[in-house]
Amino acid sequence: MKPNFSLRLRIFNLNCWGIPYLSKNRGDRVKRLGDFLNMESFDLALLEEVWSEQDFQYLRQKLLPTYPAAHYFRSGIIGSGLCVFSKHSIQEFTQHVYTLNGYPYMIHHGDWFCGKAVGLLVLHLSGLVLNAYVTHLHAEYSRQKDIYLAHRVAQAWELAQFIHHTSKKADVVLLCGDLNLHPKDLGCRLLKEWTGLHDAYLETRDFKGSEEGYTMVPENCYINQRELEPFPLGIRIDYVLYKAVSGLYISCKTLRTTTGHDPHGGTPLSDHEALMATLCVRHSPPQHTPSPTHGSAERSPLVSVLKEALAELDLGMAQACRWATFAGYVIGLGLLLLVLLCALAAKGEVREVAILLWTPSVGLLLGVGAVYLFHMQEAKGLSRSWAELQHVLGRAREAQDLGPESQPALLLGQQEGDRSEEQ
């Protein structure tokens, strides 16, 4: 690699709020989004909540001259809503659907039907391998009584693990999307600590946009103002995160957000604000990075966030087991009721009543059986994430106890070493 090597990447990210029949002015907003992307000619445009494949196909045709490569990530019943448009050729793509994604009986929330996922694109740019990830995590419907917190923590961990295991051959890693996590939330801290990703808003020296980088602001006419009552200035839940391997230096030269209206005037493109980042990658001479000070493992930021995540998953597993146990008891009572009804019908006693009660009893039993199976699956999914976190926590403590020189090998896996082994 030449010493004066440099690469500039212009990135666009937006949660498009494209729910068919429900999102206001969807068609007009999709049209104006296409016009804006053609005008700006970003290297990558990563979108969430493009729930209609017709909208994707419309954008695909409209953006084809500027973005010849594109992909729509399909999953779930409704779809993941994730899609990407690229000026550069896509070498590979894949996706991972999150194991846990809400509850099927919470129909009014709808997350379970969407198949929330993380999509991966592999691009080759100027001799570098870029892994670009786009994702959308489960929504937070109540800050005070968040019944989905364990699911979002598990999703954040699955996302971190997916990036960790798929980016070992990458020179540059980019993650964009609607994480539905505030910057100091457990899931966000877990993701950053385990992957080493940097937050463009915190790293850039040139920011223009909404106050504190908020991506949902009260000035936006599509926002449900009641949802923002606890946060009168707005919230930041959409991110551009990045990192580079040793020997390369990546920085965010500029970061822009929309501010509650169309970048060129008019109504907003979505109920979320768009993120527009300019990233610069250049060669960096080998530098000695001071090792963390040897000390108590319990004071390590990684150890602390792992312990928090384990505690939250413990609560989630206990809740799932309680629901499964309750459903199991109801199934037992339902089976006894069916046996009783069969006995009554066979003896001819209140035969008509027994037959009348048979159908709703079977229906109820099947419904409760589905609830039991779902919560058993939920408990196993949380248990799997818990086991992985517990293992990483043990390794982190071991690294801290052995000394600072062992930490990179045990915790970070020395990405360069992984790359050379696989090559």
Measure the CA–CA gap between 46 and 132, rounded to whole angstroms: 9
| Active-site annotation holder among 272, 283, 294, 375 | 272
- Options 3.60.10.10, 3.40.50.1970, 2.60.120.260, 2.40.50.320; CATH for 6-283 is 3.60.10.10
Question: Strand (E) positions, 164-233?
Answer: 172-178, 198-199, 207-208
Alpha helices in 43-123 (DSSP H): 53-63, 111-114
- End-to-end, the C-alpha distance of the chain in Å comes to 18
Measure the CA–CA gap between 46 and 241, rounded to whole angstroms: 13
Measure the CA–CA gap between 214 and 236, rounded to whole angstroms: 4
User: Cα 12 to chain center, whole Å?
Assistant: 17
Residue limits of CATH 3.60.10.10 in the chain: 6-283
Residue listed under structure tokens 């199991």:
328
272 is catalytic: yes
DSSP line for 309-372:
HHHHHHHHHHHHHHHHHHHHHHHHHHHHHHHHHHHHHHHTTTHHHHHHHHHHHHHHHHHHHHHH
Cβ neighbours of residue 108 closer than 8 Å, sequence gap 6 or more: none
User: HSE of 340 in the Cβ direction (CA atoms, 13 Å)?
Assistant: 9
Sheet architecture: strand order including 90-97: 90-97, 117-125, 128-136, 172-178, 238-244, 198-199
Q: Which two tokens stand for residue 384?
A: 């799997």
Per-residue pLDDT of the chain (423 residues; tens, 9 = 90+): 555 678 999 999 999 999 999 999 999 999 999 999 999 999 999 999 999 999 999 999 999 999 999 999 999 898 899 999 999 999 999 999 999 999 998 888 888 898 899 999 999 999 999 999 999 999 999 888 899 999 999 999 999 999 999 999 999 999 999 999 999 999 999 999 999 999 999 999 999 999 999 999 999 999 988 889 889 999 999 999 999 987 899 999 999 999 988 777 778 999 999 999 999 999 886 555 444 444 455 558 999 999 999 999 999 999 999 999 999 999 999 888 888 877 777 766 666 666 667 778 888 889 999 999 999 999 999 999 999 999 999 998 888 776 554 444 444 454 444 444 444
Measure the CA–CA gap between 303 and 315, rounded to whole angstroms: 19
User: Cα 35 to chain center, whole Å?
Assistant: 27
**Which 3 state secondary structure label does DSSP give 182?**
coil
How does 379-413 read in b/e, with b if 16+ C-beta sit within 10 Å?
Answer: bebbebbbeebeebbeebbebbeeeeeebbebbbe
| Global pTM value | 0.89
